[in-house]
Chains A and B, each alone.
Chain A
C-alpha cells in the first residue's frame, strides 16, 4: 500500500480548516484546501445603502474587522472622490497597526507555538522549555500574549469605541480626534507593550533589534539571546527543520501598508504607502509595480455557478452552487494576479518593501515556514516603532481636523475599490452603486489568495502547493503539516468539514 488519502481538520486557526492530502510513498502528491462554510456576505450587501458596508463588512472577520472597515471606507472614498485630512489617515493607520500587532501576537503565541508542546517532541532538548513558555493557559508567554494582545486593542477602542467590530472610519475621516488624553493613553499602552516585547520577546532594545540587517547579524543575535521568545521559536522551528519546508508559490503580492498622510489629498488609489506595494515576480526575482486591474478570480473548483476563466472583481459574480460530490471542493474562489498563483502576508510585505533582514534571510534560505512565521514577529517590532512615530506626529499637530464632512451625504452612483494590508495580507473590497444602492460588492480576502483552490488551468493555490512534495514521516500523525499550515496564519472563519471518502488523520495521537 503506497497511496492513500488523508483528511486533516485543523483547529487553532482563525476559524477551522480542512485539508485533504494524497500521499504516495511517503510524499504529498496532491493537496486540496477546503473552505467548507458559506455565509454569503456579498449577497447581503446588494440593495443596501453604500455606507452600510461600514457596519456589515467588518463582521466578515472577528480578528481583522478594522482592516475590513478600512477597505470599505476607502472604496466609498475612491468612488465619491471624497477627501480625507492627514490626521484621519494617521488615526486609521494607528488602529490598523494595533489590530495587526494583536493578531500577530495571538497567531504566534496562542496558535503557532503550542505545537512545540506536542508529545512527539518529548525527547527533544527544547521540550520542557516549550511547555513552560507555550502551553495553553499555563505557559508564561501564552499568558503574557493573552494579556498584552488584550491591551493592544484598547488603542482601537479609544478611537472606535470598541474592538472587535466598530464603524469609526467614515467617508471623510474618523469620528474621534486624537486629543492629548488619547495620545497619552495610547503611549501608555504602547510603552508597556514595547517594554514586554523588548524584555521577553527579543531580549534587547527595539531599535537595536530592528538594526539587524543581515542573516549573519541575526544569527549572532540568536547565539547571544537563545532564551528570548523569538530565540526559542527560532531554535525550536529550526530543530525540527521548518526552515527547509513549506515554500509554496514564489510569486508574492503586497498592496502596501498604511496610506502616507502626506498624500491625504489624493484619491486612495493614488496615495503612496508607508510600506511599499508591489508584485514580486518569482520567475525573475524582480519587483514590479502593482496594478489592481491585474486581479482575476476563478471558480472552476469552487462551489459557485461556473464561468469561463477568471473575472476581475468589478465583473465578479457570487452565486452559490453547492456540488459536494463533484470535483469542486471549496467555498473559496481562486484569485490570480496577472494569471499567476501568488502568496500574500507578512513575508511578501517585507520582501516587497525591501526590509533588509527578511530579504537577507530569504536570499539565504528561501521563503520557508520558519521565515514566514518570523516575518510576522519582525513586523510586530516595526509596527511598535511606527505606532510611536504616528502618535508623535499626531501630538505635533493638535489642531488638524479629523474629519472633513463630505459635500453630499449620499454616495453617488459609480464604482470604487479599497485595498489594504490586513494582518494576513492583501485585502480588497470592490463595490458598484446603482440608483443609490449597492449593485455589486466583491471582497477578496488575504486567505482567498493563500487558501485558493486550483484555478481554471488546474494550478494549485499557495497553501496547497506549499505541501506538495513534503515528506510525511507518519501519515497517521503528520505533525509537520500542522506547523506548515499554521505558519501561513490561516483564517477561514469556517468550520470543520469532513468528506465522505478518505481516511481521517489527526495531528495528535
Chain B
C-alpha cells in the first residue's frame, strides 16, 4: 500500500481534471491495481473536509505514514509573505506544505504552478506565487534548492499546464512500484522530458522543408511565424497523445511551452520573435549559421506535395 495525500494550493483544478483523463494507467488503476491509497483528494474523497484535517494532524504527529505528497497549484506567499491569500485552518497553505514535506517519502509537484510558479506567477505576480523548489527556472521556491525528501530526492516536478494525464499517472505508478525515477536539470522525470514537443508532430515534414504558415488555420509548421515553441519545449505531447487523440500542435495551436519553468512568457504568445527571417530562439542546441544554411537548402529541396500543403495534419 502506498499512501498519497493530494493538496490543492493556488490552482484552477486543471491537473485534477487532467488526471481524470488518464488512461494508461488510469486513476482507477492507480487505486485498484497499484495499491495507491488516496488519503485525500479534494475533488474525489467521499469524506468531508474534516477528514483532511484529521489526516494532516496524524501525518504531522507521526501516526500516519505519508508515502507521496502531491501538490497541485502555485504556492501563494502573499500578502506580505503571510500566505493568507490561500488560507488553511487559520494559517496558510504555505506553512502546511512546509510541515508536510518533511513527513513525505516523496513530494510530487503536479503541474507547472506547483513546479515553478506557473500562470499565477506571471507579472505582476499579484499573490507572490512560487513553485515548491523553484521560482521560474531559478532557486528561490518555497523550499531551498538543496532540500531533499525522506527518500533523499528533490521535489519531482511533473510540469505542464495542465500536466499530461499519463505523465502524472505513470510517474505515480513508478513511485508506487519502486521503479527508479531519474530527474533532469529542473527536476522533471527524464523519461517524459528528454524529447521535444516537436518530436512526433504531424507538421514535421512541413518544418523539414521550411514550409511555414503565416496565418492560423493552416496545415504547415508554426515555428517560424506563429509563436510555436515545440522545438524548444520538452514534453510528451506528440509522443503520447492527449486524451488518446491529438496534441495542440497537431490541431494547429502553437505550443506555448507550458512545461517550461518560464511559462507563460511575457511576450506575444502567438508571434515568433525573429532575427531577419530566422527565429530568435532556435531548436535546442542548434548553431545559428548552420541552421540558416540548412533552412535555405531545405526549402530548395521541398517536394510539390509539401509546398502545396496537400498533407492533412
Contacts and interface: CB of A to CB of B under 8 A. Distances in A.
Contact of B48 (A173, A401, A403, A507): A507
Contact of B246 (A63, A117, A157): A157
Given A56-B122, A61-B13, A62-B14, A10 B49 contact: yes
A9 B49 CA distance: 6
Contacts of B50: 9, 504, 506-508
B269 A176 contact: no
A318 to B, nearest CB: 9
B127 A161 contact: no
B312 A179 contact: yes
Interface in A224-244: none
A376 B123 CA distance: 38
Interface of A: 9-16, 36-40, 43-44, 46-49, 51-52, 54-56, 59-63, 65, 106, 110-111, 114, 117, 135-137, 143, 146, 149-150, 153-154, 156-168, 170, 172-176, 179, 181, 185, 320, 322, 324, 401-403, 405, 409, 482, 493, 495-500, 504, 506-508
Given A43-B126, A162-B237, A506-B50, A154 B42 contact: no
Given A14-B13, A59-B14, A495 B88 contact: yes
26 contacts: A11-B52, A12-B46, A36-B87, A38-B86, A38-B126, A40-B127, A43-B124, A44-B122, A56-B264, A61-B12, A114-B46, A137-B44, A143-B28, A154-B244, A158-B251, A161-B242, A168-B253, A170-B270, A181-B312, A403-B216, A405-B215, A493-B12, A496-B49, A506-B48, A508-B47, A508-B51
Given A55-B256, A56-B119, A16 B21 contact: no
Given A137-B32, A154-B245, A159-B251, A106 B20 contact: yes
Interface string B76-106: 1001000011111110010000000000000
Given A11-B48, A110-B43, A175-B251, A37 B17 contact: no
A159 B256 CA distance: 17
B190 to A, nearest CB: 22
A182 B271 CA distance: 28
Given A11-B45, A175-B251, A38 B14 contact: no
B131 interface: no
Interface stretch (B3-11, B282-290, B303-311): B3-11
Given A162-B243, A322-B79, A506-B48, 10 more contacts: A38-B85, A39-B126, A44-B123, A61-B12, A150-B23, A150-B26, A165-B14, A170-B217, A175-B217, A402-B217
A405 B8 CA distance: 40
Nearest to A507: B48
A136 B46 contact: yes
Contacts of B256: 55, 167
Interface of B: 8-18, 20-21, 23, 26-28, 31-32, 42-52, 76, 79, 84-90, 93, 119-120, 122-124, 126-127, 161-162, 215-217, 237, 241-253, 256, 258, 264, 266, 268-271, 312
A55 B92 CA distance: 29
B253 A167 contact: yes
Contacts, number: 247
Contacts of A179: 312
Given A37-B85, A49-B269, A495 B93 contact: yes
Contact of A172 (B11, B124, B217): B217
A146 B27 contact: yes
A320 B52 contact: no
Contacts of A46: 124
A403 B86 CA distance: 41
Interface of A is mostly: loop
Contacts of B270: 49, 51-52, 54, 170
A12 B14 contact: no
Interface of B is mostly: loop
B245 A62 contact: no
Contacts of B271: 409
Nearest to B217: A403
Contacts of A11: 42-43, 45, 48-49, 52
A10 B252 CA distance: 40
B8 A495 contact: yes
A58 to B, nearest CB: 9
Given A11-B43, A110-B43, A175-B216, A495 B48 contact: no
B118 to A, nearest CB: 8
A59 B161 contact: yes
A150 B25 CA distance: 13
A185 B248 CA distance: 17
Nearest to B9: A495
Contacts of B124: 43-44, 46
Contacts of B241: 157
Question: Which 5 interchain pairs have the tightest Cβ spacing?
Answer: A40-B126, A403-B217, A62-B14, A175-B252, A161-B251
A143 B15 CA distance: 19
Given A163-B243, A167-B256, A498-B87, A39 B10 contact: yes
A16 B50 CA distance: 12
B120 A508 contact: no
B249 to A, nearest CB: 7
Contacts of B32: 137
Given A59-B161, A137-B28, A158-B246, A15 B8 contact: yes
Nearest to A322: B79
B93 to A, nearest CB: 6
A154 B32 CA distance: 24
B49 A62 contact: no
B208 to A, nearest CB: 21
Contacts of A504: 50
B18 A160 contact: no
Contacts of B15: 62
A223 B291 CA distance: 72
Contact of B11 (A65, A146, A493): A493
A150 B250 CA distance: 20
Contact of A40 (B11, B13, B87, B120): B120
A157 B240 CA distance: 13
B85 A322 contact: yes
A55 B269 contact: yes
B263 to A, nearest CB: 9
A388 B88 CA distance: 45
Given A12-B45, A15-B8, A40-B120, A164 B18 contact: yes
From B49, B93, B244, name the one whose CB has the most chain A CB atoms within 10 angstroms. B49
Contacts of A164: 14, 17-18, 162
A49 B268 contact: yes
Given A52-B269, A495-B86, A14 B43 contact: yes
Nearest to A10: B49
A289 B201 CA distance: 47
